Structure 1
């Protein structure tokens, strides 16, 4: 073979045996052939892990190698080392070279390198650096710089200060009400003038903030004397006190001489005296500023509180009130001396209401003159007391009165609305109305006084409420020929203002009243607004009138009135009677005519029929007599109201004889009770019958007429008045009699049932008693039912249905009594038969019958008549 072939053979052999150490080669060498040892490059030839480890660089030597740490790492032993004699750990460049990153920077060590960042408050301005080893990694906004392969650009940052006070995005760094100051790498805040820090003088947003500084509290005399400090947000204002004004010369508040600057400041009869920061008005005698030294002096008259010395004109009970107000008025009109002993407005108001309570607690006012005296005195007293009150709003309530007074004072008249209210009424007006167009006295007042019990005393005096006074806005169908009746439906109130000219107001006042009873308007009733008018007839003192008052609206609970003047006001309930139709008049005339005829037949029967004579018949006789007279008077005089005296007589007769009919019914109940309970002596002496039947009603009528003579006769009927509850002088006794009779009848029926259940009852007598009881109960039901409807007819709730029911029952009561006591009585029917036969039989036959009648037949007839009369047997 050739040499080339031999070399190939030798080379193949070397390849196979190349990794084998030849026997005799040193470490770091490998055998090449059988006799040749060559160097091993440990840095390149390794199996699983590099010989030097991580973060190192491996360098081969002849027969060995050594290791060096990469940049950013440091050996734990020597620079050149071989494992395991050393390894590499991270080099903390930030500690090794403190100024490595430069000024205003922060050095951040990383594995094998480091980062440079600007401190807070700084930002990168320029970069400096050099090309360094491959493994040196820097962070930052670096520009791309070309270095030789294997090298990177190592920088040094140049950081400059950030001006936070100028460079901000949405909100200033210090917030509102502050000033920002920049520092090297930071900033601080200070509060603006007028604000103060919550922490220190210099602060940052995280350590404090600014709040408003109250200069008025920090420096009490910041505005000087005679001025008031008013704090504002971030500042303050100085205002001169009343009576002072700002002086440009001194820069402070100086006194104002009101006496020279304002002419007539104290009025025509007042003397002005200037004072430090104020002034005072001294009034002459007969003038007053009501204790307010800054008010004008106005004329003060005290004659309205002087008791009238004319005979019969003095109102009893008001002397104390008039004396109190007159002394107070005189003390006001006298300057200087009397002022020291003058009562304050509050004490005077309390004393006045104490006097009024004492006056009203004595009872109901007797006449309209006393009403006018009370209302007028109270109004004058409130006008005098109001300006003397210290508070702008004063209320006072007692057992009989309730008052609310509002007062405004100042150099200019007040403006705006006024509203005064209590539980029963409300007044709405304006300060312009209360002041008026006259000379402004330096004050304005408005008051509302409510009288809790006076409505009972003024529930009359309706003589001036004619049909021409009716409200024009009334839309109910109440235009009847009969004059309506009236009744107070609210508490009486007095509305007053300081304006003396209130007879014709340019702007009306609004008064809202609460009704005493909740009732909606209907065809028979509507509400009307009235005031107490004085002076029409001096002797009468006053009366209610609609003049100047209009109803605005009304419901079941309240009525709103609009009035163009001021006085004392109330709401009336106008009751319109049912229209007197032809049908109603015809029914009344026919029914009462039948009733009168039937009652006359009853009277003749009970008087002339001897077979039924007895106590019970006597009672029936006088019962029919009373009803006969009452119906006859009712038929002829109930509507004759033109004559006041004649109407009173008619009302008195109706009162007497209707009460008499019930008294005789009471006697019938007593008689039945005696017939059942007593066995013997069941009759009642006639004297006792007349004493109860006529004496009791007469006594009631006399007492009623003496107590309230005006209660007899009304404007619609000659009957008892509804005022003061006078109608109950009739209904009270009637109800009492009905209750007593019901009691007697219950006892009678109970005892009658006991007798019927006994072993040996007297059936004939008991049967008669039963018949008497049934008729008596029926009679009581007829008359009692009639007056039950009569209660509604004569009361304010009267309607058309009640009127017709009362008329029918009242018209037919005579016919019903005739049927029950005459036609249903067998003995009376037999007597009627005899009478008819006597009238119809020829005269000759009557003579023969009388002549042939024997005594025995007469005796038997009398015996038969006696058996038909229960009282004779008993």
Structure 2
């Protein structure tokens, strides 16, 4: 989807390469799906109409009455009055923050009311425009009660614009014409700047990166709308991709006023423009937040130490699953694939997560991490399914059709499903693999949900498997009396099901809970537990297994025996060491 598709779905015939020519003393006005021509201020058609289609219909003549000039001069006086108030630096510089906010609120409302009042004095002068170095105003009067269904008006000042439906301008409780005023202030943002944004995170640097604009309809200044308006802002300076745009409006309060994001939503943002929509009319701006939090050195140490231990334990676990013949079955195969995927994911995370200098390389690393972590979760899901089937078929799981079914299913699902998700994600949004600071998924357009969505789904399914497994095991325990071996297997199965859900599932929920006052605590818990997943896997599936411990003891015993055998064969059965010892040399 191309940028700004939501707001500019049609071709602007008034701009190059088309540039419709309306004739002398006339201008082109683009509307949704079409365009029209209208006479410049101070001119009107001989027919009395307000618009026409092409230059052949242009009969724009200078009005003989001085009323239009008076209206324009009145609007000019509004601009000059605002300019005089704004350029008087003393009240702004000397006043407290609350006083400055209160003065700004009064000023904004005064300009809006004056512009609407001036426009409604001359309803036949449908469009009026005026601007100087500090403020630009465009007004539009609607008199036809929106006879054209779905008609949208676009007003532009200082490269900012507002798109509003005709139905939203016309006020049902008002007889006669209605008007909309759109105002851009070139320097007001220097006064009511980002310091008036109370919702800002203390760790984020926020600044105002647009002009302040106002949109109002009259004669009654209704603010709430049945449908949202679209606002397009040109940035004061280019916005880096690492910075986040925030759409805000000026909220008047008893304390004066402040910037708020309530009812304002971001549609699209690039380096030069931001598009917002709002469910009400007010004064608006775009704030930009640059999250520049320094990494917590303690969390960094925990991450590297934890992942280092996990890599070692995952390697030992994989070797155990491969070499210990006594435990090799379907469950071991699932644990082996899980260990391999987590090992590769953790290794790539440690060595390449911050390799952002080469964009293509960073994209490949982000895609690989996306795939490996999704594959790890998919193997967790298969393990949960196998635990459930094992509980249901406790004594014959490795000799029934269940085992054959799992063997046929696990590799296509375990590696195929993550590959399909990553392929679709990469094909739809390849540019969102990699951020300016990390080789991971970008948060723009909700792209990170290509990972979080499957993870939440897998966790929910595994939770269902766990509850069913627990219920089945509980019934089996109540029915077992003398079969000690089956009783032990059932209890171990219950323990593994619980450990699997907590270690490989619930811990990831801590990442979602890193908000609000508990964010720091959750960050530490998430980092500690998730970085030690490999240690937990080795502990639960290897060290707590009686067969694996027996295999480890046999390996440890076989080593000194082999050394004794080597020394015995080297010196002979009847040979004796010299007085200087076995390794002494004769003179």
CA, structure 1 residues 575+336, in 2 after alignment: closer, same or farther (shift >3 Å)? closer
Match 2:71 to one of 395, 409, 423: 409
The corresponding residue for 1:812 is 532
Mapped to 2, the partners of 1:544 and 1:333 lie a distance apart of 44
The corresponding residue for 1:524 is 203
The corresponding residue for 2:561 is 841
Mapped to 2, the partners of 1:304 and 1:752 lie a distance apart of 72
- Structure showing greater radius of gyration is 1
CA, structure 1 residues 414+775, in 2 after alignment: closer, same or farther (shift >3 Å)? same
Higher RCO (CA < 8 A, seq sep 6+): 2
SS at match of 1:618: helix
CA, structure 1 residues 624+618, in 2 after alignment: closer, same or farther (shift >3 Å)? same
The corresponding residue for 2:384 is 669
Mapped to 2, the partners of 1:833 and 1:591 lie a distance apart of 27
Mapped to 1, the partners of 2:454 and 2:30 lie a distance apart of 41
Mapped to 2, the partners of 1:713 and 1:521 lie a distance apart of 26
**8 Å CA contact 2:38, 2:50 repeated in 1:** no
**8 Å CA contact 2:379, 2:414 repeated in 1:** yes
**8 Å CA contact 1:525, 1:575 repeated in 2:** yes
Gaps in structure 1 of 5+ consecutive residues:
1-302, 311-318, 349-387, 389-406, 420-425, 454-493, 560-565, 849-874
Match 1:574 to one of 289, 294, 309: 289
Deviation at 1:761, TM superposition (A): 7.3
Mapped to 2, the partners of 1:639 and 1:444 lie a distance apart of 49
**8 Å CA contact 1:427, 1:495 repeated in 2:** no
Q: Comparing both structures, which one devotes a greater share of its residues to helix?
A: 2
TM-score (norm 2): 0.57
SS at match of 1:528: strand
**8 Å CA contact 1:673, 1:744 repeated in 2:** yes
Mapped to 2, the partners of 1:436 and 1:334 lie a distance apart of 19
**8 Å CA contact 2:39, 2:45 repeated in 1:** no
**8 Å CA contact 1:408, 1:444 repeated in 2:** no
- 1:210-229 equivalences in 2 (<5 Å): none
**8 Å CA contact 2:244, 2:288 repeated in 1:** no
Is 1:590 aligned to 2:310, yes or no?
no
CA, structure 1 residues 727+567, in 2 after alignment: closer, same or farther (shift >3 Å)? closer
Mapped to 1, the partners of 2:285 and 2:296 lie a distance apart of 33
- 1:322-361 equivalences in 2 (<5 Å): 324-325=34-35, 327-329=36-38, 336=45, 339=47, 342-343=50-51
The corresponding residue for 2:280 is none
Match 1:801 to one of 501, 521, 532: 521
- 1:102-141 equivalences in 2 (<5 Å): none
- 1:474-513 equivalences in 2 (<5 Å): 496-497=182-183
Deviation at 1:844, TM superposition (A): 4.9
Once the two structures are superposed, residues 650-685 of structure 1 have per-residue CA deviations (whole angstroms, 9 ceiling, x without a partner) of: 221221111111111111111122223245333134
The corresponding residue for 1:160 is none
Gaps in structure 2 of 5+ consecutive residues:
1-11, 20-28, 54-62, 64-68, 86-106, 116-128, 141-154, 166-179, 211-232, 251-255, 264-272, 276-283, 569-587
Once the two structures are superposed, residues 349-397 of structure 1 have per-residue CA deviations (whole angstroms, 9 ceiling, x without a partner) of: xxxxxxxxxxxxxxxxxxxxxxxxxxxxxxxxxxxxxxx9xxxxxxxxx
Q: Comparing both structures, which one devotes a greater share of its residues to strand?
A: 1
Deviation at 1:553, TM superposition (A): 8.0
SS at match of 2:286: strand
The corresponding residue for 2:227 is none
SS at match of 1:720: coil
Is 1:754 aligned to 2:475, yes or no?
yes
**RMSD between aligned alpha carbons?**
5.0
The corresponding residue for 1:736 is 457
- 1:40-189 equivalences in 2 (<5 Å): none
SS at match of 1:789: helix
**8 Å CA contact 2:374, 2:418 repeated in 1:** yes
Once the two structures are superposed, residues 27-59 of structure 1 have per-residue CA deviations (whole angstroms, 9 ceiling, x without a partner) of: xxxxxxxxxxxxxxxxxxxxxxxxxxxxxxxxx
Mapped to 1, the partners of 2:539 and 2:164 lie a distance apart of 54
What is the number of residues matched between the two proteins? 407
Mapped to 2, the partners of 1:509 and 1:744 lie a distance apart of 58
Deviation at 1:700, TM superposition (A): 1.3
**8 Å CA contact 1:595, 1:814 repeated in 2:** yes
Mapped to 1, the partners of 2:138 and 2:421 lie a distance apart of 56
Once the two structures are superposed, residues 429-468 of structure 1 have per-residue CA deviations (whole angstroms, 9 ceiling, x without a partner) of: 7599984459xx9x97497966799xxxxxxxxxxxxxxx
SS at match of 2:532: helix
Match 1:606 to one of 288, 305, 321: 321
CA, structure 1 residues 761+736, in 2 after alignment: closer, same or farther (shift >3 Å)? farther
**8 Å CA contact 1:619, 1:668 repeated in 2:** yes
SS at match of 1:574: strand
CA, structure 1 residues 651+798, in 2 after alignment: closer, same or farther (shift >3 Å)? farther
Once the two structures are superposed, residues 131-158 of structure 1 have per-residue CA deviations (whole angstroms, 9 ceiling, x without a partner) of: xxxxxxxxxxxxxxxxxxxxxxxxxxxx
SS at match of 2:289: strand
Deviation at 1:608, TM superposition (A): 1.3
The corresponding residue for 1:862 is none
Is 1:308 aligned to 2:17, yes or no?
yes
SS at match of 1:682: helix
The corresponding residue for 2:422 is 701
Mapped to 2, the partners of 1:809 and 1:744 lie a distance apart of 22
TM-score (norm 1): 0.40
